[in-house]
Structure formats: structure tokens, C-alpha cells
Amino acid sequence: MKNMMQKISLKQTRLFALLALLAGFVVMVPAYSSAEGKAGGSAGAKACKAAYDKSSYATALDLCRKAAEQGDASAQFNLGRMYAEGEGVKRDYEQAHMWFNIASANGDKGASKNRDDIAGQMSEARVARAQKMAREWMQKHPKK
């Protein structure tokens, strides 16, 4: 009977560990708004979204970067999403935070929520680096 209790206990322990791991994974993966990406007003941002919707992430990345440099907040949002999800790029929460921060500063309403969700997955030091990157980017690309 004691052996049976130990086996059950071990099985239960493994089950709880697995459930905790799965629950932790679910908690750690934030749900980003606008799963399909956003189309902005500029032609570049619309082309970016079209490529994104077709899962042509390399093309979307190039088009979004160009539109983002022109100050298009929706393209900046889409870059944040691509980095947050690892679509066409290596997943990089610092880059995602930076792009969501820039998009938020340029008027995208959903970007601040995504930025805050990402920040919850990062250390204070990584958030500080992402904020510094956003400030530096914005200094190099002032609003027109």
C-alpha cells in the first residue's frame, strides 16, 4: 500500500508540475491586440499590412520599417507585433517594447497596452534599455 501511495504521489507531483508549467506558459504569453496587424493611412503602411496578412513577413518587415521611418504609427505597431510574436524576425521583447512605445507616442491607441503587456515579461533593466532605444530612435526620426 505504501508503494502505491508513493506512485500516486509521484504521478500527482508530475501532473501538478506539468499543469504549473502549462499554466505558467499561458500566463507568460500575452495576447496582443490586433492579431491581423494594422493598416495606417500611408500607402507604405497599407502595403505593410497586406504583406503581413499574407504571412510574407520578410516583405512586411521591410515595408513596415520604411513606413515607420516616415512616422506611421500603425507600421510602428506592426513592427512591435512582429518582434513580440517572432514573425519574420527573432522574437525580441526589447524591440517589441521599443516599437510599441514609439507607436504609442505617435498616437496608436492599442500600442500602450501591448507595450505594458510586454513590459510585464521583461526585467526592469530590459525595459530601461527598450525605453532608451525608443528615445534614441525618436531623436533620430523627429515628427514631420
Q: What is the pTM of this model?
A: 0.73
Q: How much is the pLDDT for 51?
A: 93
- Asked, for residue 3, whether it belongs to a domain, the answer is no
Q: Tell me the CA distances in angstroms from 58 to 20, 54, 85, one per residue in order.
A: 36, 11, 14
Q: How much is the pLDDT for 68?
A: 93
- Asked, for residue 125, whether it belongs to a domain, the answer is yes
Q: How much is the pLDDT for 44?
A: 87
- Asked, for residue 100, whether it belongs to a domain, the answer is yes
Nearest to 139 by CA among 107, 98, 78: 98
**Residue-range definition of the domain harbouring residue 63:** 31-140
- Asked, for residue 15, whether it belongs to a domain, the answer is no
CATH number at residue 83: 1.25.40.10
Summary count for the chain: helices (H), strands (E): 7, 0
- Asked, for residue 114, whether it belongs to a domain, the answer is yes
Q: How much is the pLDDT for 69?
A: 92
Look at the chain and report how many structural domains it folds into.
1
- Asked, for residue 25, whether it belongs to a domain, the answer is no
- Asked, for residue 63, whether it belongs to a domain, the answer is yes
- Mark the ranges of the chain whose per-residue pLDDT is less than 70: 1-41, 144
Q: How many residues does the chain have?
A: 144
CA distance 48 to 63: 5
Contact present, 93 and 83 (Cβ < 8 Å): yes
- Asked, for residue 12, whether it belongs to a domain, the answer is no
